[in-house]
Amino acid sequence: MPTIKEMIRQQRDAHPGAGKVVGCSYVLDSSLGSGGFGCVWKAKDRHSKDHGFVAIKFLGGFKAKDESAIASLKNEFAILKDLNHPHINKVYDFGRDPKFGQYIVTEFVDGLQLQKAVAERDTDFCEAMIVQVLRALAYIHSRGVFHFDIKPPNIIVKNNDHAVLIDFGIAALRPSEKAVGSLGFMAPEMLMNQRPDGRADLYSVGVLFYSILIGENPFNSMSFEEAKEKHLKLNVPPPSKVKPNIPSYFDIIVGKLLSKNPADRYQTASEALRDIVFLSQNKYNVETAETMTAYLPIEGRLIGRNEERRLAHALVDDLMQGQKSFIACITGDAGIGKSRLLKDIRYHALLAGCRVVYVDAMTPIDEGMQEIANMVSLSSTMATPAIISIDGLSRFTKARPDVWTLINACTHQIKDSAFLQGLGFVYTDTMPDETIQGGQTAISLKNFSSGEIAEYIETIVKAEDKHIKNIAHEIMSYTRGNPALVTTYCSKLVEQGFLLDKSGRWDDALFRNINIDFKTIDVPGLLVKSFLDALENLSEEEMHILECLSVLDGKAVESVVFEMMSRPQNFYASLTALGRRHFIVRDVLEKTCDIIDEFTRNAILGAIDEAVVRKWHDMIAEHLLSKHCPHDDLNCQQCAEINMHVAYCSDIKKAHSAIMKLVRYGRRHGFAERAAQRLEKRLAAENDKARQYELSLELGECWLSAGKYNNVIAMKSNDAELLDDVNFCKLIGRALMEQGKLEKAAKVFSRGIELCRRGQNKEECIINNYLAKTTLLEGKYDDAVKIYEQVRTGMKSLGTDEQSVIMADNELGEAYRLKGKYEIAIKILMNDIEYFERFKQRNIQRYYSIAETFRITARYNEAESFYITAIAAAKESQQRRMLLRLYNGYASALVASGKIAEAVEQYQSALALGYHTGDLTALATIGLNLGRCYNDVGDIKKAITFLNLTMTFLGSEKMESSWVISQQCPLFLELGDVKRKEGDFESALDFLKKALKITEGNESAALYKSWIFITWAKVCKDMGKRDEALKILKNAEKFLVNSEAKKAYSELLNQL
């Protein structure tokens, strides 16, 4: 019988304490707190590379044996293990320590609870924290997980600005009708014992937001009945009424989050985020690059490993049920996912109640060996089965050969069924399957197929779409299906807004219109190391062939390669050998060969010294030049190939000339981003000042074409002297103009005109065109017409080529169109189109302007023809903003022709492009047009949805006020008509009066006067006030500017 001292020591040893080791992996550091559930400790993770801190939650007291408490801990682990998001507390481990019992290991979040963090902070900070919480909820809800306990203590703010959602103990994948959570934050439907969903979390966010803004929670309750009464009946005053310093748009957000009926709330966290993004004066995106890449299934469920997981899980299940021992080896190339599968097996075993010893590269060799030996020796006496998992067996066997001896001995004992009942071994290694001993189960991992890559992408975007298969096929050609490389490519595509838009959504309409340039994605060197190791076994001649084919960058005739390489002795035998080893692919009939895929090509090019690459370019260029191509046009394949190789040859001057030609061609044909990458590399290596200047200018043009306006503007920040250069004034001014910063753009253009020296008539004309454009965007049409006409007069003394450059940006016809002078506009635009056709050019802006003019003048067939032509050209050159405008205009023409279904499809394409480019002005215009469209067909509910969307965009303080005012006029006009149809005549007249007021002194808004009076007269008619309707309609007569308005006027006059 133990003595009292021994009993006290045993009890003390059974409690966590500083310096004690948990689960062989964690060294306890200090207590973080305790309560009825148990305690939480800060600990060092001996498996992490930097031995960082983690948090370990233990069940204590009676909870240690409470099945429901253990189930709650397992539930938290089961949910969190598949989640990986910057605003969610990461889970690392789960298990049962012989001394301390059940535990879960999570990220250590060093920070303050939300309520303390927001104390004495402004409303901007509160808003930023709610945005981050909503991003976390958007992510977990997309995974089918609901938190159900959103409250200040469950949100920790670290580093003063980063919110992390914690405590998923009552989170659910399948919600029950039982009320769970904290009374002061619980959604009404939960208190009514109705089955909740993600909208219950959004209600809790509403309470949370209100509480941190006001400083107290009006729903705090002492009992369930009191909470039920408050959440069902209490309508709190808007935040701005309680505290006037709170922005009024918070009232809209909080009010909708706190709706009693879930159907009246935001339906998703992303919807709430979008409203905040568009209403807030602060610059947010719905998702950041970091939160969007969280949607990649890196730490979540395994993709394309169903069979392997089934086999591994069956081994564990058999061990647990019948204590049938096993040894399994997971094999495969580097980056194939061996460690991830091992982790999955480990998690499955832990949740099944199995004890697990885990050792990896961070475990000290001797300590790891000791843990393994202890588990083997104790296995026969333990009631609970155990698994030993080793990540990277070769490392252990090199340092301690006795590990391999132990595994061999265990293999024989398991094979003979003699000993080791209730013990499993699973390890990872790179050995070939055939070297695995009999008695061991081989789990061999292969690369993804194209179908599995598609499944991987569908997991990210939460959608199935035919475009996904095309993307998967492309990724396959660049990665060979290696999971690590697939993840890298998908991550880059997410960051660049190709798999998810800026609202974190997949939109198939976007992928009908945007080309993904996979060549702009860099492959990390570490991921191709295993491939490069295979190159070491090649002969010198075989390596030279691979170098030549990689630099050629495309299918090549074998005899031509043979000549280029100066007829090597074993050329055709080497080709055969390379084909067998899957480095190249050969076409026997065409007698051509090529590198097998883009992954192989990129890996080989990355391994070759630059001097060697230049040597091959020299040889290839010399060979191609000897063919004497009669053209000098990059549309000619031979000319394009020559220029590509000359651009990277040893002659610096020739290379510079060729690369400038290539990138200009690429920029005009939709490859601006790839061209920019080439220029950045060349610019970094260039020493000549004149060439640096030329490269910098072209780089700015590429960034403009790619929509990277901040990059262009940053050029000014990095070098203030750039505004003393005419060419850079043009660049920076255009970037500011594209961002809607018209006043700043005009100042930069004016500075450019000042810098124009005498005789620089061409440059002055070009900049005046840009200045006229800013004036046009401000709605000052008469001023714009005047400047454009002055430019056309001033350029007459110049040569034909110079005139052609100036004419490209002279939008005189567009200015007359916006003035409402349609016949003049048509004449100018048709002359301009003929002018450019003489130079074999297609100016898409002119096609857009003429199509818009024909649409407005009801010449719909002509309008559609020009829209279709321009859309095809804009797609080819990847002019995304122009493409957006074309879809919007084309849809409006289809509406006018009565083709509503087709119109909606075009509007959706425009919306997708608007979200992708982040163009608020375009989104506002499209929302207004969709509202009009649905109003015209009588779908008032949808009309209001899109008109409210437009109101949201126009309410953003990020937008230029003059443009907003001009757009508010047609918006109020449309809302007036919608309210008329709803029978709300008072609201209808209020909106129409607002619209009429805007027309005073606003040239662009004045064009809507006729429609305002016509709609106003309709309101009076519907109210039964015929005489008043006739009086109002009389006002419309002098403002009728187009055939549609005249027709509507005549019809209403006849009715009256």
DSSP 743-761: HHHHHHHHHHHHHPPTT-H
Query: Any residues with CB less than 8 A from the CB of 595 and at least 6 apart, and which?
Result: 546, 549, 550, 583, 584, 585, 601, 604
pLDDT at residue 722, rounded to an integer: 63
Number of domains in the chain: 6
Choose from 763-767, 901-905, 950-954 the range with maximum mean pLDDT: 763-767
Q: Which of 53-57, 163-167, 542-546, 620-624 has the lowest mean pLDDT?
A: 620-624
Answer yes or no: is pLDDT of 1016 > 80. yes
Summarize pLDDT for 548-585 with one digit per residue, the tens: 999 988 888 899 889 888 888 899 999 999 988 888 98
Tell me which of 602, 630, 658 is where a domain ends.
630
Q: Which residue has the tokens 């301390």?
A: 100
Verify that 118 and 68 share a domain, yes or no: no
Judge whether 312 lies within some domain. Answer: yes
Verify that 574 and 601 share a domain, yes or no: yes
- The phi, psi pair for 721, rounded to 5°, reads -70, -10
Judge whether 939 lies within some domain. Answer: no
Rounded to 10 deg, the angle between the 672-685 and 689-705 helix axes is 160
The token pair at 212 is: 């941190």
pLDDT at residue 833, rounded to an integer: 92
The residue that leads in pLDDT, 934 or 278, is 934
Verify that 136 and 277 share a domain, yes or no: yes
Verify that 313 and 435 share a domain, yes or no: yes
Mean pLDDT of 483-501: 76
pLDDT at residue 8, rounded to an integer: 45
Mean pLDDT of 937-950: 82
Answer yes or no: is pLDDT of 670 > 80. no
Judge whether 687 lies within some domain. Answer: no
The token pair at 340 is: 């991830």
Summarize pLDDT for 281-304 with one digit per residue, the tens: 777 777 777 777 777 766 545 667
**CATH number for the domain including 120?**
1.10.510.10
Judge whether 318 lies within some domain. Answer: yes
63: which DSSP letter? G
CA nearest neighbour of 472 among 303, 652, 241, 725: 303
**CATH number for the domain including 600?**
1.10.10
Mean pLDDT of 901-929: 82
Banded pLDDT at 957 (limits 50, 70, 90):
very low
Verify that 408 and 454 share a domain, yes or no: no
Percent of the chain scoring above 70 in pLDDT: 84
Answer yes or no: is pLDDT of 849 > 90. yes
Verify that 247 and 378 share a domain, yes or no: no
Verify that 86 and 118 share a domain, yes or no: no
The token pair at 449 is: 């197929």
Give yes or no for a contact between 293 and 491, defined as CB atoms under 8 angstroms apart.
yes
pLDDT at residue 474, rounded to an integer: 83
Choose from 504-518, 798-812, 952-966, 1032-1046 the range with maximum mean pLDDT: 798-812
pLDDT at residue 50, rounded to an integer: 57
How many angstroms separate the first and last alpha carbons of the chain?
Answer: 108
CA nearest neighbour of 213 among 241, 232, 190, 175: 241
Give yes or no for a contact between 21 and 2, defined as CB atoms under 8 angstroms apart.
no
pLDDT at residue 526, rounded to an integer: 47
Give yes or no for a contact between 768 and 755, defined as CB atoms under 8 angstroms apart.
no
Taking the model in full, what pTM does it have? 0.63
**CATH number for the domain including 435?**
3.40.50.300
Verify that 162 and 261 share a domain, yes or no: yes
pLDDT at residue 7, rounded to an integer: 44
The token pair at 574 is: 């080497």
Summarize pLDDT for 94-109 with one digit per residue, the tens: 877 777 778 888 888 8
CA-CA-CA-CA dihedral for 605, 607, 612, 618, to nearest 10: 0
pLDDT at residue 468, rounded to an integer: 81
Answer yes or no: is pLDDT of 420 > 60. no
Judge whether 589 lies within some domain. Answer: yes
Provide the mean pLDDT of the chain.
Answer: 82
CA nearest neighbour of 253 among 964, 942, 976, 955: 955
Judge whether 209 lies within some domain. Answer: yes
Dist CA 292 CA 269 (whole Å): 14
Answer yes or no: is pLDDT of 393 > 60. yes
Summarize pLDDT for 195-214 with one digit per residue, the tens: 888 999 999 999 999 999 99
What strands lie across the sheet with 556-557, from one edge to the other?
556-557, 592-595, 584-587
Verify that 119 and 180 share a domain, yes or no: yes
Tell me which of 630, 647, 672 is where a domain ends.
630
Q: How many CB atoms lie within 10 A of CB 402?
A: 13
**CATH number for the domain including 1025?**
1.25.40
Judge whether 761 lies within some domain. Answer: no
Q: Which of 628-642, 659-673, 800-814 has the lowest mean pLDDT?
A: 628-642
Verify that 333 and 438 share a domain, yes or no: yes
Verify that 158 and 279 share a domain, yes or no: yes
850: which DSSP letter? H
Dist CA 96 CA 102 (whole Å): 4
The residue that leads in pLDDT, 841 or 66, is 841
Choose from 625-629, 631-635, 685-689 the range with maximum mean pLDDT: 685-689
Give yes or no for a contact between 954 and 925, defined as CB atoms under 8 angstroms apart.
no
Tell me which of 420, 444, 468 is where a domain ends.
444
pLDDT at residue 418, rounded to an integer: 46
Dist CA 430 CA 411 (whole Å): 19
Judge whether 133 lies within some domain. Answer: yes
pLDDT at residue 83, rounded to an integer: 82
- Structural domain of residue 33, as residue ranges? 6-107
Verify that 123 and 169 share a domain, yes or no: yes
